[in-house]
Structure 1
Amino acid sequence: MRLLETIREHALTHPLAIALDPVVSEPVTWEDLAERVEAMAYDLSTGGQAGQPYVLCLDHGVEASLAELALLEARIPVLSLPAFFTEEQARHARTACGADTAFPSASRPAPSVLPLGTARVTFTSGSTGTPKGVCLSAAHMLSVAASVVEAVGAEHAGRHCALLPPGILLETVAGFFATMLAGGTYVCPPQAEVGLTDPFRPDFAVMANRLAEWKITSLILVPEYLAGLVTVMERTGLPLPELTLVAVGGARVPVDLLERARALGLPVRQGYGLTECASVVSLESGDEDEPGSAGRLLGHMKARIAPDGEILLEGEMFLGTIGELRDPGPLASGDIGRIDEHGRLWVEGRKSALIVTSFGRNISPEWIEAQLVAQPGIAQAMVHGDGVPAPEALLVPSRPDADLAVAVAAVNSSLPAYARLAGWREVAPFTPANGMLTGNGRLRRKQIAATWLADRPCFFAELEAGTFRERLRFLGIPQVRAGLAGTISRRTYIDYLWQAWHHVRHTVPLMQAARARLRDRPDLLAALDEYIAEETGHEEWILADIAAAGGDADAARASEPAPATRAMVDHAYRMIDEGNPAAFFGMVYVLESVSVALAQRGASAVAENLGLPPEAFTYLTSHGALDQDHMAFFAELVNGLERGDDRAAILQMAREMFGLFGAVFASIEMEDGPMEKTRVAA
């Protein structure tokens, strides 16, 4: 099967119908799509790139869609890298498969380490937690896409919206390729447009409103996205009547969440899949009357249950991993499950994660975790307790005022006695960046256990956990949310820079004041000397940014700080002068961690929306890059502090600083109405 042939057929039968709708720019018709894919595929196939993988790391949109289709047609392997990969992860992936360029740059052909026929390389944690590159053929992926269309019916090929992060195999195969086969419209807006500036901290209110506005008819979600949409719909009463299909996969979905979703009229179907099977293996039918199963297997797959309960799969499979062909025979999924008398697959947990209590009871932690994250106050949970009388949990709150004790009590009331949680601990979020979460949202249990279940967690981890609620409050401030999304005016950006100048000009004096009181602490003196050398002169960067953004730098220099800014700076001096001067490092933690977020997420969004030159963002971008290195240095520094009074002072200062720094942002007036789109000469 060649996807371009199907696209040509659509172009003949309905040439002017919309194939791609990026929302933020002109849509692409089927006629235009066929011509552009054919031309791009020809250029690629004659460019001497055969066998050499291309790297795709693009946001959703026309460019990414055309690249996917053209590379598939040109038979050039694709290494698709999600944007949330760390630089180390991305470098490992490129090196492993012999790709060192990004689409559409040329590169020298090299001997391929990929199995013959590879069309896509996608990296997964695997059952051991070690990243591996899974190699898939075009025929396999398109066969799965065709099976999805057959299972759900071509009548659902309306307006499918891409929500999962770019590069996620499930969306590519079951969303994009399936929509192309069925002749629907693939709605592919940039992530920021649908509330996903940070895919691991979605703005579900924005997401729900955009889905309604764009008249979306089908979605693929992970359980967290479904829970967020359901909560918004329950709170606001917003309907999504156009939806005819909401497929949910990636992890088990709590039954009560499925019931809440269906009570709102959402046509939710749970599915099951593996990367090695090119995503989807099974999917609920539209008339299931017993929520909780993963549905019946798609036409190209077969399954059976091993004596130990593991799901074994047969049918079309991956070609192998990088440098290695797959073993013949059934694929051991690593998942525990059963097949009922109606042929429905039930997935009940991971084989490797089973807990055996000291009472001899086997417990799948995913079972309890699903109940925990169904509680509104819990964002993430990892259940542990192998070899002890009862399981316990590590919990991440979902909001600043979350009452985790109440949430745990509610879950325990629904569990049998042997599975009830005997204890819990509040921890910092699990993310791909800290190595505790895979790209598709699965827990890296060994890494989490190494951090949080050791005899004594490192202080940096405790600092993150101890300030996470304050960070959530900070991120909830409207000015902060608007800045991270880029939806602020030029005036607001300049006002932010004014206040930044007023507190940044005190950075070095504050460090010098702390140094004067820490003369007997050579470990901290060396760190302060390094910070002072690095931070000197940064306030001048801000004045230059103000001028480049069209503001008055001289007026900023001569102005008085806002009361909130003065309060923050005065508090820092007071804590250094009157308390434990090591508390200053709590301020360092807040300002540096916030600047990383502003640089990574906010600066580019503001620059694009306002049309400002790079010279207007030297402080944010340069300081953000510096602070990423500083955070690693900072973590090593504070992890070496053994004195309890130092740790307590840093933690207290960090909590206070989140509130004080948040007040600085809240004091900045945001203009109403359309954003000012002004081009400033570079």
Structure 2
Amino acid sequence: MSLLLQAIFARADHDGDRTALDDGSRQLLYRDLPNAVAAMAGTIRDAIPGFGPVAIELDNGIDWVIADLALLSLGRPNIPLPAFFTKEQRAAALANAGAVGSITVAGIILFDHAIAAVPPGAAKISYTSGSTGDPKGICLDDRLMLQTAQAILARLGEDFAGIHFPILPLAVLLENVAGLYATLLAGGRYLVRSAAAIGLANPFAIDDAQLVTAIEASNATSLILVPEYLACIVDRLERTGVRLDQLRLVAVGGSRVPLSLIDRADRAGLPVVQGYGLTECGSVVSLEAFGERDRGTVGHPLDHVAVSLASDGEIVIAGHFHLGTVGDARVDGPILTGDIGAIDGQGRLSIIGRKSSLIITSFGRNVAPEWIEEQLVAQPQIAQAMVYGDGETMLRALIVPSAPDADIAAGVAAANAALPAYAQIGLWQASRPFTPAHATLTPNGRLRRAAILDRLATRPFFERLCAETGPARARLFSVPQLQAGLAGRISLATYLAYLAQAYHHVRHTVPLMRLARSGLMAKSMLVEALDDYIAEEEGHEQWILNDIRAAGGDADAVVLDGPSPATACMVDHAYATLRDGNPAAFFGMVFVLEGTSIALASNGAEAVRASLGLPHTAFTYLTSHGALDQDHMRFFETLMNRLTDPADQDAIVAMANDIFDLFGGLFAAIAMEDDRAAA
């Protein structure tokens, strides 16, 4: 029998009446574990004869744990597959490992894969990245997993294992070994819930309220988190004043943890310890001890490993480790981690960055991007960041905002203020989130830099335009006047005031198009598009005057009164940009105005009409323009994705950001004094 399983079952003799597993509705005592595991082993043996690898594709729960232990008892390699793997990643992993079956919520599924060369003694095949191209299944034996779990207990003491509440998927090795196995070896209660039950139905869109409530209700004494989950919990505690006083241990690993986040966690009462590890080493390699106050390290190496540094600072770990990958067995020996580190006078390890990701600027300065990323994600406006720029004069960053309206520029400026000049971010752009599902993040939270840069190089320009203008768009749509219009809660006076300013910017649309066209004569694709736009847009300002009359307003007075200062500012900026800069910038204005008109037409026009009791003839501009602009936006997306000139692209992004803010100013200048009565 597996050495690991024997050690777990030994608890049945000493702590048989204690609860081992608990999912909220079902409990298993330690004395019941052997029978439950034997029953599952029999089911697997009958359904999947032979000795080939078997996958587990279950949500967190007691069934996952029992299936895992049953495979250990059978000596069958287990392939844990996280739910966030894509269909392609799942298929690649199963084929690479030669899986003969899978345990799923629907039952056991059989496969007919080619036999794979799995190293003898493999108990677990861990796919850390879920790569679809060339997946690497790291093979671990039960001796390594037992040594790792025992070493964690030796560092922390068995007292930590009161009630452990798993947040990470059990398919992630860190939770599997450091959470499940360590808890069962210590005689603790493993209080396991489904992902949806704790606010992680989508692990990359966390319901922080549900997560913190679930932790509080569980009376959990220990958690294992990645830094992003820690940040989410800390933010919730700071905003609500809730305290999770029952927690005695919050272990954080997977990637660097900003010191500022650890300080915030301390102030929020979370007993955080940092750790460092690799799948190849069975998960945890080093771990802070309780009460360490000199932050910034990942603690001393655990008892089962020896850590040293190569001449270039690379961390080298000696001990009994993984057996190799599927199809490529290895001789046991030191692991060259690829991580750059330091060891202080007390023997504690610090992680500086990845050897492969080291940036050398054109000035010859060596920069570890992780150091700068730590400063960036410490800012409240920034959720994720990746720094790059090898060989360039300035560093660049891809930034994932913490909220749609987050001021990324302010966050970057704050991070730069804490960095020396050579390490400051010179250029940045917004990005979609980095996730394992998109192969841009490992399950443990490490950036897959090459994949992110590949995505950056190949993404369509329209996608870049949407991403890099997202915060500005959010600022526009947060303007109270626009929000009230979208909800249909504005007065007649406000609606007429909006139409008046719409008239004064729409009447410049065709003249601006003609000005842009005159400067783009050498670019036939853009000229043809402008010709189509001009033909469509002629006379639309008259629609607005007709709507004003139908709504009971004075159209002639609107013409005579002229634009508000905010409207004039937006129009003047557009003319100046087209005259003095790149005329392709006009398409940035198109992106803003057409996108906004679609939102107003689809969400606001009918609500406003109904609340004010106006005829449909008072809304021809919004309703007709909304329908037209939906077609225009599809055409616009295709046009932008055909645009290859970087200068044109940059000009369009810059103009769009400017117009979002100027258009927001136009709305903000509209008086709303009477709107409370209208609502």
TM-score normalised by the chain length of structure 1: 0.70
Partners of 2:34 and 2:168 in 1: CA distance = 25
User: Which amino acid in the other structure matches residue 176 of structure 2?
Assistant: T
Residue 365 (structure 1) aligns with: 369
1:472 Cα offset (Å): 12
Partners of 2:475 and 2:177 in 1: CA distance = 35
Residue 3 (structure 2) aligns with: 2
Residues 134-533 of structure 1 aligned to structure 2 (within 5 Å)? 134-452=138-456, 458-467=461-470
Q: For the Cα contact (< 8 Å) 2:48–2:100, is it kept in 1?
A: no
Partners of 1:264 and 1:150 in 2: CA distance = 27
**Aligned partner of residue 124 in structure 2, secondary structure:** strand
Q: For the Cα contact (< 8 Å) 2:160–2:249, is it kept in 1?
A: yes
Residue 55 (structure 1) aligns with: 55
Q: For the Cα contact (< 8 Å) 1:160–1:175, is it kept in 2?
A: yes
Give deviations 1:476-525, integer Å, cap 9, x for gaps. xxxxxxxxxxxxxxxxxxxxxxxxxxxxxxxxxxxxxxxxxxxx99xx9x
Residues 15 and 336 of structure 1: CA distance in aligned 2, closer, same or farther (over 3 Å): same
Residues 431 and 227 of structure 1: CA distance in aligned 2, closer, same or farther (over 3 Å): same
Residue 669 (structure 2) aligns with: none
Partners of 2:366 and 2:131 in 1: CA distance = 19
Residue 586 (structure 2) aligns with: none
Matched, 1:574 2:624: yes
**Aligned partner of residue 389 in structure 1, secondary structure:** coil
**Aligned partner of residue 126 in structure 2, secondary structure:** strand
Aligned residues: 522
User: Which amino acid in the other structure matches residue 354 of structure 1?
Assistant: L
User: Which amino acid in the other structure matches residue 312 of structure 1?
Assistant: V
Partners of 2:206 and 2:64 in 1: CA distance = 22
1:45 Cα offset (Å): 4.5
1:579 Cα offset (Å): 4.5
Unaligned runs of 5+ in 1: 475-519, 525-560, 587-634, 656-682
1:638 Cα offset (Å): 7.2
Residues 191 and 47 of structure 1: CA distance in aligned 2, closer, same or farther (over 3 Å): closer
Q: For the Cα contact (< 8 Å) 2:404–2:470, is it kept in 1?
A: no
Residue 22 (structure 2) aligns with: 21
Give deviations 1:377-404, integer Å, cap 9, x for gaps. 1011011121223322111111122111
**Aligned partner of residue 243 in structure 1, secondary structure:** coil
Residues 189 and 291 of structure 1: CA distance in aligned 2, closer, same or farther (over 3 Å): same
1:192 Cα offset (Å): 1.1
Residues 401 and 458 of structure 1: CA distance in aligned 2, closer, same or farther (over 3 Å): closer
Residue 617 (structure 1) aligns with: none
Residues 637 and 189 of structure 1: CA distance in aligned 2, closer, same or farther (over 3 Å): farther
Partners of 1:372 and 1:469 in 2: CA distance = 20
Partners of 1:342 and 1:69 in 2: CA distance = 38
Partners of 2:76 and 2:93 in 1: CA distance = 17
Q: For the Cα contact (< 8 Å) 1:127–1:334, is it kept in 2?
A: no
Partners of 1:375 and 1:571 in 2: CA distance = 43
Residues 360 and 584 of structure 1: CA distance in aligned 2, closer, same or farther (over 3 Å): closer
**Aligned partner of residue 229 in structure 2, secondary structure:** helix
User: Which amino acid in the other structure matches residue 15 of structure 1?
Assistant: G
User: Which amino acid in the other structure matches residue 33 of structure 2?
Assistant: L
Q: For the Cα contact (< 8 Å) 2:92–2:132, is it kept in 1?
A: no
Unaligned runs of 5+ in 2: 478-527, 533-600, 609-618, 661-679
Give deviations 1:304-345, integer Å, cap 9, x for gaps. 101111101110210000101125532110100011121111
Q: For the Cα contact (< 8 Å) 1:338–1:347, is it kept in 2?
A: yes
**Aligned partner of residue 385 in structure 2, secondary structure:** strand
1:37 Cα offset (Å): 0.9
User: Which amino acid in the other structure matches residue 377 of structure 1?
Assistant: Q
Q: For the Cα contact (< 8 Å) 1:79–1:121, is it kept in 2?
A: yes
**Aligned partner of residue 101 in structure 2, secondary structure:** coil
Residues 356 and 182 of structure 1: CA distance in aligned 2, closer, same or farther (over 3 Å): same
1:220 Cα offset (Å): 0.5
Partners of 1:118 and 1:378 in 2: CA distance = 41
Residue 91 (structure 1) aligns with: 91
User: Which amino acid in the other structure matches residue 213 of structure 2?
Assistant: N
Residues 387 and 48 of structure 1: CA distance in aligned 2, closer, same or farther (over 3 Å): closer
Larger radius of gyration: 2
Q: For the Cα contact (< 8 Å) 2:92–2:135, is it kept in 1?
A: no
Partners of 1:571 and 1:382 in 2: CA distance = 44
Which region of structure 1 is more displaced relative to structure 2, 384-393 or 313-322?
Answer: 384-393
Partners of 1:70 and 1:180 in 2: CA distance = 15
1:113 Cα offset (Å): 1.7
Give deviations 1:340-389, integer Å, cap 9, x for gaps. 12111111000000011122211100011011111111011011121223
Q: For the Cα contact (< 8 Å) 1:118–1:136, is it kept in 2?
A: yes
Q: For the Cα contact (< 8 Å) 1:11–1:31, is it kept in 2?
A: yes
User: Which amino acid in the other structure matches residue 32 of structure 1?
Assistant: D
Residues 3 and 307 of structure 1: CA distance in aligned 2, closer, same or farther (over 3 Å): closer
Partners of 1:216 and 1:199 in 2: CA distance = 20
1:139 Cα offset (Å): 1.4
Which region of structure 1 is more displaced relative to structure 2, 306-315 or 410-419?
Answer: 410-419
Matched, 1:75 2:78: no
What is the CA RMSD across the aligned residues, in angstroms?
A: 3.6
Residues 369 and 36 of structure 1: CA distance in aligned 2, closer, same or farther (over 3 Å): same
Q: For the Cα contact (< 8 Å) 1:427–1:462, is it kept in 2?
A: no
User: Which amino acid in the other structure matches residue 289 of structure 1?
Assistant: R
Residue 520 (structure 2) aligns with: none
Matched, 1:583 2:583: no
Q: For the Cα contact (< 8 Å) 1:353–1:365, is it kept in 2?
A: yes
Q: For the Cα contact (< 8 Å) 1:157–1:182, is it kept in 2?
A: yes
Q: For the Cα contact (< 8 Å) 1:379–1:396, is it kept in 2?
A: yes
Which region of structure 1 is more displaced relative to structure 2, 458-467 or 252-261?
Answer: 458-467
Q: For the Cα contact (< 8 Å) 1:575–1:583, is it kept in 2?
A: no
**Aligned partner of residue 201 in structure 2, secondary structure:** coil
1:231 Cα offset (Å): 1.2
Give deviations 1:100-147, integer Å, cap 9, x for gaps. 532134556964421011111111249999531111111111211111
Residues 431 and 575 of structure 1: CA distance in aligned 2, closer, same or farther (over 3 Å): farther
1:432 Cα offset (Å): 2.7
1:53 Cα offset (Å): 1.0
Residues 580 and 256 of structure 1: CA distance in aligned 2, closer, same or farther (over 3 Å): closer
1:6 Cα offset (Å): 3.6
Q: For the Cα contact (< 8 Å) 2:397–2:428, is it kept in 1?
A: yes
Partners of 2:622 and 2:473 in 1: CA distance = 17
Q: For the Cα contact (< 8 Å) 1:49–1:76, is it kept in 2?
A: no
1:15 Cα offset (Å): 2.8
Partners of 1:192 and 1:6 in 2: CA distance = 32
Partners of 1:579 and 1:231 in 2: CA distance = 40
Partners of 2:232 and 2:401 in 1: CA distance = 14
Partners of 2:125 and 2:415 in 1: CA distance = 40
Residue 30 (structure 1) aligns with: 30
